[in-house]
Amino acid sequence: MNQDLINKGKDMIRSAKAILIFSGAGLSTESGIPDFRSPGGIWDKYDPSDFYFQRLLSDEKAREKYWAMSKEFYANMKNAVPNRAHLSIKALEDAGKLLCIVTQNIDRLHHKAGNSKEKIIEIHGTAFSVSCLKCGKSYDRDEIEKRLDSGIKVPYCDVCSGFLKPDTISFGQAMPQDKMDRAYTCASECDLCIVLGSSLVVYPAASIPNQAVDKGSRLIIINRDTTPLDHKADLVIHESVSDTLAKMVEGL
């Protein structure tokens, strides 16, 4: 790993006063959670078109497939633990430098790492709670998992018999406008945006780091592969997210 690049990142972090962390699947893979799109990931086993939101609303078979997929993914996610990058982000908060975390991840690892929930914006939702799409009643995910373990293939609401769904954003489902608005506000206010493990190809989420740059923020991208925003970044490192960020934050 190039020490000059690490030192440049350290200097950028030291001089920053309001850091926006933008985290994607490449951060979670280093905690053992497979990326949906990677070889051997969920989309190698399932057809994503089965899980479009409108199809889930109208097709019982699609709902069965969806819950089978979701159950498999949740089992892996539930026991995952934060890695060095998550803990480094917590260190940034402890140092008073963290404005917010905008995450595409649904795994709650930023919460497990100890970051303040007020600073975490889960723009793609969370797999750790479930809601009724009809009446809005909320359920703890583990309660629904017990129903699935008992042989129920598609859980329904106790109150109104509506379709239950994890609080994640599916293909074709509207993004939560309040969270997006808050993320854009933070992007306008930050003086340093650090992208961690995101390919920056999923929109509208990927527009947030772009907004930060357009509003005058500096940009660090740490991702194993190239991204469409590499040319706009002040620093790009194609290495392990957890190793790289930990070295940059060390001794802060």
* Co-location of 112 and 145 in the same domain: no
Residue type at position 77:
M
Alpha carbon dihedral 42, 125, 21, 178, in 10-degree steps, equals 150
* CATH number of the domain that residue 252 is part of: 3.40.50.1220
* Co-location of 118 and 61 in the same domain: no
C-beta contacts of 199-203 below 8 A and 24+ residues apart? 199/24, 199/25, 199/26, 199/223, 199/225, 199/227, 200/24, 200/227, 200/228, 200/229, 201/227, 201/228, 202/104
Minimal CA–CA distance to 129: which of 161, 166, 179?
166
Q: Give 150's contacts (C-beta < 8 A, 6+ positions apart).
A: none
* Co-location of 25 and 136 in the same domain: no
Mean pLDDT of the chain: 92
Question: Strands 164-168 and 19-23: what pairing?
Answer: unpaired
* Co-location of 25 and 60 in the same domain: no
Confidence of residue 75 (pLDDT cuts 50, 70, 90): confident
Residues of the domain holding 153: 37-79+128-168
How big is the chain, counted in residues?
Answer: 252
Tokens of 218: 């500096």
Q: What are the tens digits of pLDDT across the range 195-241?
A: 999 999 888 888 999 999 999 999 999 999 999 999 999 999 999 99
* Co-location of 215 and 181 in the same domain: yes
Q: Which member of 86, 111, 124, 231 is catalytic?
A: 124
Query: Which of the 8 DSSP states describes residue 30?
Result: G
Q: What is the pLDDT of residue 6?
A: 95
- Mean pLDDT across the stretch 179-199? 97
* Co-location of 143 and 240 in the same domain: no
* Co-location of 185 and 243 in the same domain: yes
Cite the DSSP H helix spans in the chain: 3-15, 25-28, 42-45, 53-58, 60-78, 84-94, 109-112, 141-149, 177-189, 207-214, 241-249
Task: Tell me the DSSP string of 146-198.
Answer: HHHHTT-SS-B-TTT-PBEEEEEPPTTPPP-HHHHHHHHHHHHH-SEEEEES-
* CATH number of the domain that residue 49 is part of: 3.30.1600.10
Q: What are phi and psi of 147, to 5 degrees?
A: -65, -45
pLDDT exceeds cutoff 90 at 132: yes
* Co-location of 183 and 116 in the same domain: yes
Lowest mean pLDDT among 70-79, 154-163, 212-221, 229-238: 70-79
Number of domain units in the chain? 2
Lookup result for tokens 């539930």:
78
Q: What is the pLDDT of residue 37?
A: 59
* Co-location of 158 and 248 in the same domain: no
* Co-location of 117 and 17 in the same domain: yes
Confidence of residue 118 (pLDDT cuts 50, 70, 90): very high
Q: Of 112, 137, 168, at which residue does a domain stop?
A: 168
Confidence of residue 44 (pLDDT cuts 50, 70, 90): low
- pTM score: 0.92
* Co-location of 109 and 1 in the same domain: yes
Residue 111 annotated as catalytic:
no
* Co-location of 8 and 48 in the same domain: no
Checking phi first, is residue 96 left (phi over 0); if not, alpha (psi -120 to 50) or beta?
left
Lowest mean pLDDT among 144-153, 168-177, 181-190: 168-177
